[in-house]
């Protein structure tokens, strides 16, 4: 039966080819088998939407395409995490191969669910030692449980942006370095007006834009989880101290109700109506983008930047701050992973690419080489944030299986504290720990 | 929303079954019955397919997924009652959302029905300017929910909104509206009343349909305005009132856009990049069950719990509708 023999031979050849092909890929752990030199079109989704940012990412992609003529990149911007998640779940040809997300807190979910592929084998294949390329804190927030499912693409450092004219007017010569001095300065800069304010030294409530509990807590160097992975908010006194200090500041500046009524008059964070631009607040906890945005909004006062104050008993650590940033990952379902890796590798590890992109959108570069690059444009205001990024005690919030849900639970408790609804902070933190543990257990 | 059993055609096989029990039918008769049954099924098939694909299958899938651990990326894995236990004892958003949804069902549906009826009565009775008033009351209903909510949040802004400026000018207390947990649901109720145009049109049609002779007869019997409303108008429009209440309950059970947008705008996180946001600002007071379906499924990657919430919502809708229909039987009877 010649037909049967032919089929048998064909099947044998196929099986042999498959076995050999599998053997050749080695034990790298990467299942990608596509040819990175083949002509291919990648779908890249990102969240940038401002015209300047979109132009910058497109220039970055154009440089990549010039260096990789076989890879065409179809760029889609203004994508939120919700849209990205849906597309990753749906898969298919139109789903993204490469994704960038602003939500650093989602990394745990991305890694834990397998939405993004582990980049460890790709780094190894390219001979890249991530610990020598990226700052440690940035590696911390781009991986979960040993799975490096994302890499950092620029990052944000949080510090204090302040109105130098207001400081001069109040006779303050330098930004506050310790928490007690910070409270004093905030009170000096506050100008009441009837039952409201003409200006507050700082809007200390946790709905005050970037003033989140996590960013403030970083100044107390907290440990969110015990070594065995249990929530540690009640165990580490840093959290209770931070909450008490913030509540004290809220009370000293006029109380929660009065401050929140004033906050309701604030404009949008990303517009020229930002209260810092309008002189309604003299100090603002913010990222490195704020001085540039304030200048673009046409402010007439002089802007200063400084690290956030530290607790009085940690004065030696002044200069540290909270770090987070944009992350890039590759869809696990992508059939073009080797080509996608070329794009991810270029955007995240090519020093010139990282520096050019950082210069264009005024973010902090995300590689050690780029941080020291002479091509990096550094203004005095921006240098403060570069120094915060380099500070060995700067920290971030750890990735978790439930993404940032644990942070939202903590934030929820912090809202209750600042409103004065909590009389026993320690007991409240213990309850918060139990909730966080339950949520993480559910997510795992 | 129809019950699952409503999808099952109950009458098709019945004619063949009864004679079969007595004497065996002749082959020709059996063929006739079979052809008849097939014909019936063929005529019903578009509905059967639609009901199966768009109602029965999603409902059964939702029940199945509520007993699985499923994040949309990995295959679902059976986890027994874990999702249900977590929902009732561990999920911190569930009970606040349940309380808010029930509050809104009771208050918003009652207020909208009474207000819609009142506006309908007003417009059908006034002699001049009825057309203008009808247009004015109907227009807000046509506004997109997001735009309408944004406008309301700005109008009711406690710091800069004109409403509080007027209240303060008149020496009245100025509430925090969408920034105060005690006032956010009343503010949502005001928003729902502003968009009363749909109910106003329905009630106007019902009121204009009441036979004039009955009013004339009542007037001859000496009935006053309240007695005419109580004994003539209300019995005649009772089925429409029931319709308004039942559809209102179903709509409020699905209340999502307005509370979410109001909460986000009032919290000041509309344009925040990279910021996580759980719905319900201020103090979970605008959290509703549909919002936590989304929160669990798409923000927490927990389809199983999201499906359990959806089933709770389904059971609640069915229970409310059944109760209203049972109670409404008397209401309907009053109109006959």
Of B265, B264, B287, nearest to B277 by C-alpha is: B264
Average pLDDT rounded to a whole number, residues B281-290: 92
Which token pair is B194?
């502003």
Residue B258, φ and ψ in degrees, nearest 5: -60, -50
In contact, A166 and A301? CB cutoff 8 Å: yes
Nearest chain A residue to B93, by CA: A409
Residue B211, φ and ψ in degrees, nearest 5: -60, 130
The pLDDT of residue B23: 59
The pLDDT of residue A5: 52
pLDDT in tens, B30-53: 888 999 999 999 999 999 999 999
**Is the domain of A150 the same as that of A171?**
no
HSE-up (13 A, CA, CB side) for residue B96 = 18
Q: Does residue A23 sit within a domain?
A: no
Distance CA(A441)–CA(A227), nearest Å, equals 16
CA-based nearest distance A112→chain B, Å: 10
CB pairs under 8 A between A and B: 95
pLDDT category of residue B2 using cuts at 50, 70 and 90: very low
**Is the domain of A211 the same as that of A295?**
yes
Of A98, A131, A140, A94, nearest to A117 by C-alpha is: A98
Residues of B with CB under 8 A from a CB of A: 71-74, 82, 86, 90, 92, 157-160, 176, 179, 266-268, 270-276, 278, 281, 283, 298-302, 305
Q: Does residue A219 sit within a domain?
A: yes
**Which run of H or E residues covers position A101?**
strand A98-101
The pLDDT of residue A103: 83
**Is the domain of A129 the same as that of A173?**
no
**Is the domain of A269 the same as that of A237?**
yes
**Is the domain of A365 the same as that of A439?**
no
By Cβ distance, the residue of A114, A261, A262 closest to B74 is A114
**Is the domain of A82 the same as that of A151?**
yes
**Is the domain of A263 the same as that of A307?**
yes
Q: Does residue A271 sit within a domain?
A: yes
Q: Which CATH number fits domain B87-334: 1.10.10.10, 3.40.50.620, 1.10.1040.10, 1.10.3720.10?
A: 1.10.3720.10
Residue ending a domain, among A361, A390, A419, is A390
Distance CA(B145)–CA(B150), nearest Å, equals 9
**Is the domain of A433 the same as that of A298?**
yes
pLDDT in tens, B97-150: 999 999 999 999 999 999 999 999 999 988 888 889 889 999 999 999 999 999
Strands A150-152 and A156-163: unpaired
By Cβ distance, the residue of A86, A266, A443 closest to B268 is A266
Is the reported ipTM for this assembly greater than 0.95?
Answer: no
Which token pair is A291?
């001085």
Average pLDDT rounded to a whole number, residues B174-192: 91
- Taking an 8 Å cut-off on Cβ atoms, the answer to whether B73 and A268 are in contact is no
**Which run of H or E residues covers position A384?**
helix A380-390
Q: Does residue A78 sit within a domain?
A: yes
To the nearest whole percent, how much of chain A has pLDDT over 70?
Answer: 93
Distance CA(B275)–CA(B278), nearest Å, equals 10
Strands A156-163 and A303-306: antiparallel
User: Count of domains in chain A?
Assistant: 2
By Cβ distance, the residue of B90, B179, B274 closest to A260 is B179
pLDDT in tens, B53-100: 999 999 999 999 999 999 888 899 999 999 999 999 999 999 999 999
From chain B, pick out residues whose CB is under 8 angstroms from the CB of A412. Answer: 92, 278
pLDDT category of residue B281 using cuts at 50, 70 and 90: confident
In contact, A80 and A303? CB cutoff 8 Å: no
Number of C-beta neighbours around residue B43 at 10 A: 10
Q: Does residue A382 sit within a domain?
A: yes
**Is the domain of A235 the same as that of A181?**
yes
By Cβ distance, the residue of B90, B271, B275 closest to A442 is B90
- Flag residues of chain A having pLDDT under 70: 1-32
Residue A43's alpha-carbon distances to A46, A77, A348, in angstroms, are: 10, 11, 17
The pLDDT of residue B7: 45
Name which residue leads in pLDDT, B14 or B261: B261
pLDDT category of residue B179 using cuts at 50, 70 and 90: confident
Q: Does residue A180 sit within a domain?
A: yes
- Answer whether residue B227 shows pLDDT above 60: yes
Burial of A402 (0-12, 13-18, 19+ CB in 10 A): buried
**Is the domain of A280 the same as that of A168?**
yes
CATH number at residue A250: 3.40.190.10
Chain CA centroid to CA A91, Å: 25
Burial of B11 (0-12, 13-18, 19+ CB in 10 A): exposed
Residue ending a domain, among A370, A390, A410, is A390
Sequence ranges of chain B with CATH classification 1.10.3720.10: 87-334
Domain that holds residue A422: 157-322+400-443
- Taking an 8 Å cut-off on Cβ atoms, the answer to whether B300 and A403 are in contact is yes
pLDDT in tens, A128-149: 999 999 998 899 899 998 899 9
Q: Does residue A124 sit within a domain?
A: yes
**Is the domain of A373 the same as that of A411?**
no
Q: What is the mean pLDDT of chain B?
A: 86
CA-based nearest distance A7→chain B, Å: 35
**Is the domain of A370 the same as that of A224?**
no
- Answer whether residue B280 shows pLDDT above 60: yes
Distance CA(A412)–CA(A70), nearest Å, equals 49
Best of A53, A264, A441 to disrupt the B interface (most B CBs within 10 Å) is A264
């Amino acid at each position: 039966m010649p037909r049967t023999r032919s089929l048998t031979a064909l099947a044998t050849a196929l099986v042999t080819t498959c076995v050999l092909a599998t053997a050749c890929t080695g034990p790298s752990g990467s299942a990608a088998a596509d040819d990175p030199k083949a002509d291919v079109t990648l779908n890249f989704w990102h969240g940038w939407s401002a015209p300047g940012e979109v132009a910058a990412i497109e220039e970055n992609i154009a440089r990549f395409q010039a260096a990789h003529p076989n890879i065409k990149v179809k760029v889609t911007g203004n994508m939120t995490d919700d849209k990205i998640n849906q597309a990753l779940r749906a898969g298919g040809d139109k789903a993204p191969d490469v994704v960038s997300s602003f939500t650093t807190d989602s990394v745990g979910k991305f890694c834990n669910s397998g939405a993004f592929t582990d980049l460890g084998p790709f780094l190894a294949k390219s001979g890249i030692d991530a610990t020598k390329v990226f700052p440690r804190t940035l590696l911390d927030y781009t991986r979960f449980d040993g799975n490096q499912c994302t890499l950092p693409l620029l990052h944000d450092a949080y510090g204090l942006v302040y109105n130098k004219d207001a400081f001069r007017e109040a006779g303050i010569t330098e930004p506050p370095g310790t928490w007690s001095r910070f409270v004093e300065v905030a009170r000096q800069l506050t100008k009441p007006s009837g039952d409201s304010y003409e200006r507050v030294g700082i809007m200390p409530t946790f709905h005050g834009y970037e003033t989140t509990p996590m960013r403030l807590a970083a100044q107390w160097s907290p440990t969110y989880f015990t070594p065995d992975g249990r929530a540690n908010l009640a165990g580490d006194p840093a959290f209770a101290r931070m909450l008490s200090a913030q509540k004290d500041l809220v009370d000293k500046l006029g109380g929660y109700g009065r401050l929140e009524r004033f906050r309701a008059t604030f404009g949008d964070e990303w517009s020229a109506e930002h209260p810092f631009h309008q002189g309604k607040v003299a100090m603002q906890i913010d990222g490195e983008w704020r001085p540039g945005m304030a200048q673009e909004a046409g402010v007439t006062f002089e802007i200063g930047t400084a690290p956030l104050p530290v607790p009085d008993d940690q004065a030696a650590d002044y200069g540290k701050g909270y770090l987070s940033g944009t992350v890039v990952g590759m869809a696990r379902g992508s059939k073009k992973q080797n080509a996608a890796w070329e794009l991810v590798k270029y955007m995240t590890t090519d020093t010139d690419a990282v520096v050019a992109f950082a210069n264009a959108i005024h973010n902090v570069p995300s590689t050690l080489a780029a941080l020291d690059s002479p091509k990096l444009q550094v203004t005095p205001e921006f240098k403060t944030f570069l120094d915060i990024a380099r500070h060995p005690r700067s920290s971030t919030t750890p990735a978790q299986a439930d993404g940032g849900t644990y942070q939202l639970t903590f934030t929820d408790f912090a809202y209750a504290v600042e409103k004065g609804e909590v009389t026993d902070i320690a007991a409240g933190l213990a309850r918060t720990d139990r909730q966080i543990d339950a949520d993480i257990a559910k997510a795992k | 929303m129809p019950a699952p059993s409503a999808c099952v055609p109950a009458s098709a096989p019945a004619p063949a079954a009864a004679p079969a029990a007595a004497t065996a039918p002749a082959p020709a008769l059996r063929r006739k019955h079979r052809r008849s049954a097939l014909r019936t099924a063929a005529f019903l098939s578009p509905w059967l397919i639609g009901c199966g694909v768009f109602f029965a299958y999603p409902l059964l899938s939702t029940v199945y997924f509520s007993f699985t651990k499923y994040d949309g990326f990995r295959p679902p894995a059976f986890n027994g009652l874990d999702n249900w236990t977590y929902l009732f004892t561990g999920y911190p958003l569930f009970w606040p959302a349940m309380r808010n949804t029930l509050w809104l069902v009771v208050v918003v549906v009652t207020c909208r029905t009474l207000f819609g009826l009142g506006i309908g009565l007003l417009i059908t009775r006034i002699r001049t300017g009825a057309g203008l008033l009808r247009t004015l009351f109907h227009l807000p209903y046509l506004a997109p929910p997001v735009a309408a909510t944004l406008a309301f949040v700005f109008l009711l802004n406690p710091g800069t909104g004109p409403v509080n400026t007027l209240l303060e000018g008149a020496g009245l207390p100025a509430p925090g509206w969408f920034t105060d947990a005690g006032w956010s649901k009343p503010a949502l109720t005001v928003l729902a009343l502003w968009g009363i145009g749909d109910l106003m049109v329905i009630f106007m049609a019902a009121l204009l349909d009441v036979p004039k002779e009955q009013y004339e007869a009542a007037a001859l019997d000496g009935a006053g305005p309240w007695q005419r409303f109580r004994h003539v108008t209300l019995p005649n429009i009772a089925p429409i009132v029931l319709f308004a209440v039942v559809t209102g309950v179903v709509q409020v059970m699905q209340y999502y856009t307005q509370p979410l947008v109001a909460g986000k705008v009032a919290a000041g996180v509309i344009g925040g990049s990279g910021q996580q946001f759980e719905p319900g600002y201020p103090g979970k007071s605008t959290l509703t069950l549909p919002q936590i379906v989304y929160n669990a499924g798409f923000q927490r990657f927990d389809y199983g719990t999201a499906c359990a919430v959806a089933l709770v919502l389904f059971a609640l809708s069915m229970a409310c509708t059944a109760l209203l229909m049972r109670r409404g039987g008397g209401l309907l009877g009053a109109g006959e």
